[in-house]
Homo-oligomer: A and B are copies of this chain.
């Protein structure tokens, strides 16, 4: 491999410009052309390293929130409150835009699951397993219903995504944990 190496400075400028434009204009109104101009980069530089706008923003998002996928020692309510707080702001709008775009781009959907949604699911699952007592139910179903409610509110916007929801969900999960489950694993 010879030749001029990729400019890390240009890469950072482009990702930063993309995030800035998303905050200012909203994800759907951002164009690759606009990002290039905002970053002072050539358009071909973007097309060389990313296939689509969504790809570019996905990399920007993983750079941003990738660290928060580390195994959390927090309880369920805290974990959900922090997650909802993240999803309620500009980051949430971008992720919603990515999910929207994934409806017309299956390959993007795959990358989204691998890099963002999958790790987040794993983190929630770990928190549920550590609960005293553990719910003793199908954890994958619980994850689907908890994060399902989050995505439902994020995309449909019929109700806020706040700590009240985190509390309500936590209470419901505790109630499930205290109920006679299919495995007969009631505490005591």
A75 in the interface (beta carbon within 8 A): no
> What does DSSP make chain A's interface, helix, strand, loop or mixed?
helix
A156-188 with Cβ < 8 A to chain B: 156-159, 165, 168-169, 171-172, 175-176, 178-182
**The one of B29, B104, B121, B140 that contacts A100, using a Cβ cutoff of 8 Å:** B104
A interface residues, how many (CB within 8 angstroms): 49
Residues of B within 8 Å of A113, CB to CB, are 156, 158
Interface stretch of the complex, out of A37-45, A124-132, A146-154? A146-154
Residues of B within 8 Å of A165, CB to CB, are 141
Does A181 lie within 8 Å of B176, measured CB to CB? Answer: no
Residues of B within 8 Å of A118, CB to CB, are 158
- Cβ contacts A to B, 16 pairs, < 8 Å: A97-B103, A99-B156, A100-B103, A109-B156, A112-B156, A117-B158, A138-B168, A140-B159, A147-B148, A151-B155, A152-B152, A171-B182, A175-B180, A176-B179, A178-B179, A178-B180
| 9 cross-chain pairs, A with B, having the tightest CB-CB distances, nearest first | A148-B148, A28-B104, A179-B179, A100-B100, A148-B152, A148-B149, A145-B145, A100-B103, A144-B149
CA separation between A7 and B12, bound complex, in Å? 55
CA separation between A176 and B145, bound complex, in Å? 14
